[in-house]
Structure 1
Amino acid sequence: MYLTAGWLVITLALVWVSNHFLTRRLDKKLPWLEHGNKRFYWQLGIGILMSLLIINLSYFILKLGLTSDPPNVTQVLSMNVYGILILLPTISINFGIQFLSNWKTAQVNSETFQKETIRAELTTLKNHLDPHFLFNNLNILSSLISVDTELSQTYLEKFADVYRNILKSSKEELVTLNDELRFIASYLYLLEIRFEDTIQTFIDIDSKAHMKYLPPLTLQMLIENAIKHNVISEIRPLKIHISYQNGYVSVKNPLQEKRVEKRNSGKTGLTNIQKRYSYFTDKEVQVFKNPDNFIVKIPLIDLESE
């Protein structure tokens, strides 16, 4: 009796430890929030098979090593049937605990994400509603009206499009790269009229990547940071390269920092982008800085594979 009780305690302990290890591994490979259905079936199947394997091994060790009564087919079948009857509710309870834990974590993350998104939107709106920004654009528009009516009309449409997209972004957690590039086209149009040849943008992105996702305003914030923190002149034009490779969009600009801005270097905007990305993917926003260039690589999110 004591031998059976000891065997039962040890076996249950091994089953618990193995399932705990399995849970931790699957948390990294198949997170609940991203692969709910797949995670359920994988953990249920592997958990039961692994538990039954442990039960059978420990049973054979008990019978062959510690008793003189060898196992028979009836005993093994009965043990496996009872094992499944015990394991199913046990694993179900474990799933329930995991679900509640992940649901609570998801709620906290969702609230944090909403705060970060609102902060990013407010920062962007603040920058674009800044009197200096408005004055510059209205001044350009005023000068264009008297010179080129058609160009001034196009400029006004792009100007309105920029604000419309900024306000629209408050309702969306993710947008397609295609939508972001269309918004960026309007934004860059305003910049090119204002800065003329002192800002040059080069975009080289495979059309296959256009339907993947990213948080709204991400590219705009990176371009804005590059303009804000670098010297721009006819002698030293700011060349911004936007390209795509291996699932990442790269935003690269030559490093020609303003001395007074050196301490800030756009870290607030980058931190916000990194935090918003952390709610959708394990892939990290990569930042590289060398004496010649500043590069930020942002991962695109494929909702079908996440």
Structure 2
Amino acid sequence: MKSIKENSKKHIINISIILAISIFITFMFAGFNSSWQDILLNILYGIIIGFSIAIGSSLISKKMYSVGNWELNPINKYIQVIIAITLYIGIDVVIVNLIWFKLTQNLSPTELIHSNMFVWIILSELVIGIVIYLIILSTNFSKKLNKLYIDNENNLKEINKYKYSTLKNQVNPHFLFNSLNVLSGLIYQDTDKADDFVGKLANIYRYVLDVQDEEVVSLTQELEFIKDYLFLQSIRFGDNLQYKINTSSDKMIIPMALQILVENALKHNSITDKNKLLVRISNDDRFVIVSNNINPKSDTANSHELGIANIKARYKFLTSTEVEVLNKDNKFEVRIPLLNIEA
């Protein structure tokens, strides 16, 4: 609400300045020693020409900045706006003056075109209008750039915060403790499987360290990682944990996203002989889909929201497509957007 009031106040000030200048310039051309009727006509003319320039230029600027992502190339967008407004002001002053002189002095367009005074008025209003709007545009553009710089700095801090949060949460003592606990028992039962377990555990930590500075990774990379992670968890939970992976895509996702969702499923559901957990990972053209049946633990209600909030926060810097969360019919499903960008 405050922002709307500030913008309205700013537009009113800009329009008032342009109207005042337009009226003053009108009197400079017409002279101040005129009848009251001429004075009123001059004021009306100044209001019409100033208002048409101010409103039209403001709408053009607003429309052009709302189309596309101007932040990607701000200088190019600024030049485009200047060109568009220059063309508009030129057309506007010609049309307004043609209509005005026809109505007030019954002069035809042919007569006006051959009038040096008319040409001088058009050129003067064009130059003055462009100069005024260049000042306004430059001021607004400077503010936009400053805000863009601040937003980018804040976004970078947010990204780093969530990257650190992801790394900290995944390389944690609990996961390592559980893995070593499983390994200690496995060594005496099946040495080959124990060797495999150690290799996949090493792969997991190597992957975490490799991607900690990456914004995106290929879905193929992430799937290799999550398969190793699920292998370790299947050793821990046995047949009570089942998973099915059916994916095929050369697109990208953010690193560790699948692991966060799988860990949520393991953490927030009871996994027993009576309550088996099935995790499914698949994809369509737009999303990777991670789903699981629901056997909720009584002490972890809604605690999955933190991990999903992490994923959503990281995705908002990369795409306008939102992470989708569905919770119905005894199934919890999260749909993560696939990205068409390079790592």
What TM-score results when the alignment is normalised by the length of structure 2? 0.73
For the Cα contact (< 8 Å) 1:242–1:249, is it kept in 2?
A: yes
**May I ask how many residue pairs the two structures share in their alignment?**
290
For the Cα contact (< 8 Å) 2:60–2:84, is it kept in 1?
A: no
The residue type equivalent to 1:231 in the other structure is: S
What is the alpha-carbon distance in structure 2 between the residues aligned to residue 80 and residue 203 of structure 1? 69
What is the alpha-carbon distance in structure 1 between the residues aligned to residue 201 and residue 230 of structure 2? 10
For the Cα contact (< 8 Å) 2:278–2:293, is it kept in 1?
A: yes
Query: Which position in structure 1 is the counterpart of 2:271?
Result: 232
Query: Which position in structure 1 is the counterpart of 2:314?
Result: 276
Instruction: Note the 1:136-175 alignment, pairs <5 A.
Output: 136-175=178-217
Is residue 238 of structure 2 the alignment partner of residue 196 of structure 1?
Answer: yes
The residue type equivalent to 1:215 in the other structure is: I
Query: Which position in structure 2 is the counterpart of 1:25?
Result: 66
Query: Which position in structure 2 is the counterpart of 1:12?
Result: 53
- Report the CA distance shift for 1:196/1:236 in structure 2 as closer, same or farther (over 3 A): same
**Bigger CA drift: 239-248 or 86-95?**
86-95
- Report the CA distance shift for 1:203/1:81 in structure 2 as closer, same or farther (over 3 A): farther
Query: Which position in structure 1 is the counterpart of 2:91?
Result: 56
The offset of 1:251, in angstroms, is 0.8
Unaligned runs of 5+ in 1: none
What is the alpha-carbon distance in structure 2 between the residues aligned to residue 242 and residue 43 of structure 1? 45
1:106 to 135, 152, 158: 152
> Which SS does the other structure have where 1:261 is aligned?
coil
Is residue 259 of structure 2 the alignment partner of residue 220 of structure 1?
Answer: yes
- Report the CA distance shift for 1:279/1:193 in structure 2 as closer, same or farther (over 3 A): same
CA RMSD of aligned residues (A): 3.0
> Which SS does the other structure have where 1:193 is aligned?
helix
**Superposed CA offset, 1:167-224 (max 9, x none):** 33322222222221121121111112222221122122223xx3x3222211100000
Query: Which position in structure 1 is the counterpart of 2:169?
Result: 123
The offset of 1:77, in angstroms, is 9.3
> Which SS does the other structure have where 1:60 is aligned?
helix
> Which SS does the other structure have where 2:322 is aligned?
coil
> Which SS does the other structure have where 2:271 is aligned?
coil
Instruction: Note the 1:242-257 alignment, pairs <5 A.
Output: 242-257=281-296
The offset of 1:43, in angstroms, is 6.2
For the Cα contact (< 8 Å) 2:94–2:122, is it kept in 1?
A: no
- Report the CA distance shift for 1:81/1:31 in structure 2 as closer, same or farther (over 3 A): closer
The offset of 1:54, in angstroms, is 5.4
Matched-pair identity in %: 29
What is the alpha-carbon distance in structure 2 between the residues aligned to residue 72 and residue 166 of structure 1? 74
Unaligned runs of 5+ in 2: 1-25, 28-41
**Superposed CA offset, 1:139-159 (max 9, x none):** 322333333332221110101
- Report the CA distance shift for 1:291/1:135 in structure 2 as closer, same or farther (over 3 A): same
Larger Rg: 2
What is the alpha-carbon distance in structure 2 between the residues aligned to residue 179 and residue 204 of structure 1? 15
For the Cα contact (< 8 Å) 1:19–1:47, is it kept in 2?
A: no
What is the alpha-carbon distance in structure 1 between the residues aligned to residue 292 and residue 93 of structure 2? 62
What is the alpha-carbon distance in structure 1 between the residues aligned to residue 230 and residue 50 of structure 2? 68
For the Cα contact (< 8 Å) 1:44–1:91, is it kept in 2?
A: no
1:184 to 226, 230, 253: 226
The residue type equivalent to 1:164 in the other structure is: R
What is the alpha-carbon distance in structure 1 between the residues aligned to residue 75 and residue 178 of structure 2? 56
**Superposed CA offset, 1:65-116 (max 9, x none):** 4544435399499589859975778756654443232122111111122122
For the Cα contact (< 8 Å) 1:22–1:47, is it kept in 2?
A: no
